[in-house]
Structure 1
Amino acid sequence: MPKERVTISLDGEIAAAIRKLAETGQTESVSAYVTEAVEDRLARQERAERIIKGWAAEAEQKDAAQWAQALDWARRTAHKDEHSDTKGAA
C-alpha cells in the first residue's frame, strides 16, 4: 500500500516515549509504531461492529416488534441529539 504523509499532534510525553522506542530498536520508527496502533484500533472497531450487528440480528429474530420499537427510539434519540448539537454551535 502506498504511504501518505500526514501530520498529527501527540502529547509530548507520548511522542517522546515512541521516539525512545524507535531509538532503542523496540519499534522500526515512530511512523511504524503509529501505523501499527492505528491498524490495531481499526481492527478492534471492525470486530466491535461485527459483534454489535450479530447481537442486533439475534435481537431482531427473537422479537421483531420490540426490535422495531428499539430502532425507532434510537433514531428519534439520535435525531434529537443532532438538533441539540447544532443549536449551541452558532
Structure 2
Amino acid sequence: MPDLVPGAAAGHLGGAEAVHALADRVAAGLGGDLRDHLMYFAIRVGVRRLADAAAAERQARMVGSLQYDIVGNERRGAERTAELAG
C-alpha cells in the first residue's frame, strides 16, 4: 500500500500516490457513481483550483515587481508592470 500523507486521516492518500491509486481504479473499471463524481465534480474542482493558484502566483509576481520598481525609483519599470496588469 502507498505511503499515507503525514498527518492525514487513516486511509487517505495524497500526491503521486493518490494519482497512481486512482489510475489503478480507472484501469479496473469505475462504477457509475464514482465516474459521475469524478467527471462532473472532482476533476472540475481540481482544475479550477489549479487555475486560481496560477492566477494568484502571476498577480503576486506583478505586485512584487511593482514594489521592487518603486523602491528602486524605477518609474519606467513600474509603468511596464502596470501595462502588463492590463
The TM-score by the shorter chain falls in which range?
0.3 to 0.5
**TM-score under structure 1 normalisation?**
0.43
Larger RCO of the pair (alpha carbons < 8 Å, separation 6+): 2
